[in-house]
A = this chain, B = another copy of it.
Amino acid sequence: MPVRIDHAERRFLLAQAVWRITLRDGLREASVRGVAREAELSMGSVRYFFSTQDELRRFAMRELIDKIGRRITAGAELRIADAREGRVVDAREGRVVEAALALLLELLPLDEERRNEACVYQAFVAEAANDSVIAELRQEADDGVRQQCRHTLESLAEFGHVAASRAIDIEIERLHALLDGLTAHLLARPADTPFARVEELLLTHLYDLGKPGYRGGHQ
């Protein structure tokens, strides 16, 4: 029995074709025929690996989330190492905050590759209203970002950069919303939001955490 094709590889290749079409012309153009053309395969071949269009789209989204997730995780591990080192070497200098900043910057579409990914991801998210499986994938990805926010804030707190009076859950939600909003703005109007501005914005946010927060109306 001839086994000539690496299924995982072929499926990934087709997912990439979906990404390219979506980035160029929108998800609506990622029809079975369109993907086949883009991947230079016949319609039948595509359908040999994905019997349904939904299956193809969902796979393409999951693969994209995994790709983004892998990069973020890799970046995060680097930054966490930096932070631990910073703690020992020179905690006063605020290296912990810098590490947290770097970690958050990892989550934003600040270079072309990330921009493209985020663009395609956004197109998938829009489909979540019509496809419950895609909605689940979206939620999963969302939870990942939220975990990252939680870790970042907990690290900052551990090193004394978050005032004890602050409600951590509120701060997680606030940071998460800030990042999602920033992402949207970076995609919609990249010119208005240069890197330096984003950096200053996030530093402003992080430094604010060190000060005592609002406590239920008492001062």
Interface residues of A, count at CB 8 A? 47
A86 CB contacts on chain B under 8 angstroms: none
Contact assessment for B170 and A201 in the assembled complex, using a CB-CB cutoff below 8 Å: yes
Contact residues in B for A28 (Cβ distance below 8 Å): 28, 130
Stretch from A31-39, A63-71, A171-179 that touches the partner: A171-179
The residue on B at minimum CB distance from A193 is B173
Report the minimal beta-carbon distance from A50 to chain B, rounded to whole angstroms.
20
Q: Does A80 contact B (CB under 8 A)?
A: no
Whether B185 lies near A176 (C-beta < 8 A) is yes
Chain B residue at smallest Cβ distance from A212:
B211
- The 0/1 profile, CB within 8 Å of B marked 1, for residues 136-177 of chain A is 001100100000000000000000000000110111011011
Partner of A181 from B125, B130, B179, B189 at Cβ < 8 Å: B179
Q: What separation, in Å, do the CA atoms of A143 and B219 have in the docked complex? A: 33
Q: Are A173 and B189 in contact (CB under 8 A)?
A: no
A129 within 8 A of B: yes
* Distance of A207 Cα from B211 Cα, bound (Å): 11
Tell yes or no: A197 within 8 A of B by CB. yes
* Chain B residues, CB < 8 A from A188: 128, 138-139, 142
Nearest B residue to A22 via CB reads B129
Given known A123-B126, A130-B25, contact A197–B185 (CB-CB < 8 A): no
List 11 A-B pairs, Cβ < 8 Å.
A119-B129, A167-B204, A170-B201, A174-B204, A176-B181, A177-B178, A177-B181, A177-B185, A180-B184, A204-B213, A208-B214
Interface residues of A (CB under 8 A from B): 25-26, 28, 119, 122-123, 125-126, 128-130, 138-139, 142, 166-167, 169-171, 173-174, 176-182, 184-185, 188-189, 193, 197, 200-201, 203-208, 211, 213-214, 216-217
The 8 closest A-B pairs by CB, nearest first: A177-B181, A126-B126, A181-B181, A180-B181, A207-B214, A26-B130, A177-B182, A208-B208
